[in-house]
Amino acid sequence: MIARYRDAFNASFSEERYRAYVDSLANQCGGPIEFRLSETPCFFPAALMDDLAGAARDMIGQLLGDEKYRRAAESVIPSQFRIPNGEPVPTFIQVDFGLVRVGDRVEGRLVELQAFPSLYGFQMALAETARRIWKLDGTSVFPNGLDQAGYLKTVGRAIVGDHDPAEVVLMEIDPAKQKTLPDFSLTEKLWGVRAIDIREVVRDGNDLFYNRDGRRTRIRRIYNRVIPDDLARTGIPIPFDYRDALDVEWTGGPDWFFRISKFSLPWLRHPWVPKTMFLSEIDEGGRVFRPGDPNWLLKPLFSYAGGGIIFGPTEADIAAIPKDQRQLYVIQERVNFTPVIETPFGATQAEIRLMFVADAKPGAGFAFVLPLVRMGRGRMMGVDHNKGLRWVGAAAALIVEQPSM
C-alpha cells in the first residue's frame, strides 16, 4: 500500500531470497510449514492500523458492554462446553477486516471476530524473519510502539499466567498433525508451554496431569487450542468433562469461542459491519436478499476457518436447513474487498487480523499486540480458493509511520 516500499520490494524480489525466508522460518519452527507463505510482506500505514484497532475496540466494547447480548450469547453455548471456572472476559480476541477503497482512503470491513487464540508465536517469527531477510528498515512488526520484549511479556502473561510454564499446557487434538504445529513449536520455544493431545490428559479427582519427559506433571493452566467444532465433528472421547469443577485455570476457553463469534455479527452497529441477520429471523415473504444472489453469504455460526460458507444461497440451500437449526446460521451481505497490494501477478486483496489479548489489569480493556495478514485473489482467503496462485497466502503486516502532511 505504501508505494516506495512496495515498488522497491517488487523490484528487488528474488526466488533465492524467498527460499531463504521460508527455510529460515522452517528452521525456527523445527520443521516444514504446511500452509502457503506469500512471497511478500505487506506495508501498512500506522494510521490505518490505528483506525482498524479503534473500530475493533468499539465492536468488542459493544458486545461485552451489552447485557442483553451477553445473555443471548450465553444461551448458545452448548451444555458440554460450559466451564464453571472460566475466564470472566476472553483472554484472546481476533478481529478480521477486509480492506476497501472509499474515495481517496482505505477502510476496513468486518469479516468476523472470534474469542479464540491465534498464531501468537508463529506470526511474530514470520514478521521478524521477513523484516530481517529483506532488510526492511523503517518498518515495525508491532503496533503502537510495542517491541519484542513487551510483546513476549504481554502474550506470555496471557498464556502462562503466574504459573511455572511446565505446569501449563497447550491443548489440541493431535497437535503434531495440525497445520498450526509451527505455532505450537514456537509457543514452547518462546514461553515454555508444550502442546499435548487432549486425550493424553490424566484425571485424578479434580486434578489434571500429563506426562512431561517421563514425569507425571500437574496441569495448573490450559491454553486451549481445541476447536469445539472439531471435537464435536470427530467425536473422540476425552478424559474429563468441561462442566466439572476441575482445579485448573483456562485461557482461551471453549465457552468464549461461542460467546464472541459469528453469532455476534447481527448485534453489532458500526459502519464497517456488513448487513447480517440470523437465518431464523428472515421473513419468508419479504427477504432483503434474492436467493442465488452472489452478493450474499450463508454462514454457519460455529464453524472455523471459513468452513460451510455458501455463496449466493438458493432457496434449496435454505430449505435444506431444518427450521429448528436456522438460529445457528447467518445471512450476510458480501463485501467486495479492494485489491490494494500490487504484485507482479496482479493486484491482490489483503485480509488483516488484529490480534488482541486482555490487559492484565481487570477492566483495563484489550491490547492490540500484532497484526496478521492473509493475501488472496480468490473469492476467499483460504488455501482452497487460491490454489495455483503466487504471491498469496500468509504474510507479514509491517507498519510504517508516515510523516504528517
Q: What angle do CA 157, 163, 164 make, to 5 degrees?
A: 110
The helix or strand, by DSSP H or E, that contains position 310, with its residue range, turns out to be: strand 310-311
Q: What angle do CA 167, 171, 174 make, to 5 degrees?
A: 130
In the block, which residue shows the cell 491465534? 118
Looking at residue 284, what is its pLDDT? Answer: 53
Looking at residue 319, what is its pLDDT? Answer: 86
* Strands ordered across the beta sheet of 366-376: 105-114, 92-102, 349-358, 366-376, 393-395
Three-class HEC string of 267-300: HCCCCCCCCEEEHHHCCCCCCCCCCCCCCEEEEE
Q: Which residues contact 49 (CB under 8 A, 6 or more apart)?
A: 143, 371, 399
The total of other beta-carbon atoms located within 10 Å of residue 190's CB is: 17
Nearest Cα neighbor of 51 from 116, 111, 137, 110 is 110
Is the model more confident about 216 or about 283? 216
Q: What is the pTM of this model?
A: 0.92
Looking at residue 125, what is its pLDDT? Answer: 98
Q: Which residues contact 191 (CB under 8 A, 6 or more apart)?
A: 121, 152, 155, 156, 159, 160, 165
Nearest Cα neighbor of 72 from 263, 244, 202, 218 is 263
Looking at residue 295, what is its pLDDT? Answer: 85
Q: Express each pLDDT in 114-159 by its tens digit.
A: 999 999 999 999 999 999 999 999 999 999 889 999 999 999 999 9
Q: Which residues contact 216 (CB under 8 A, 6 or more apart)?
A: 202, 209, 210
Q: Express each pLDDT in 5-50 by its tens digit.
A: 999 999 999 999 999 999 999 999 999 999 999 999 999 999 999 9
Band (pLDDT 50/70/90 cuts) for residue 404 is: very low
Nearest Cα neighbor of 77 from 265, 301, 244 is 301
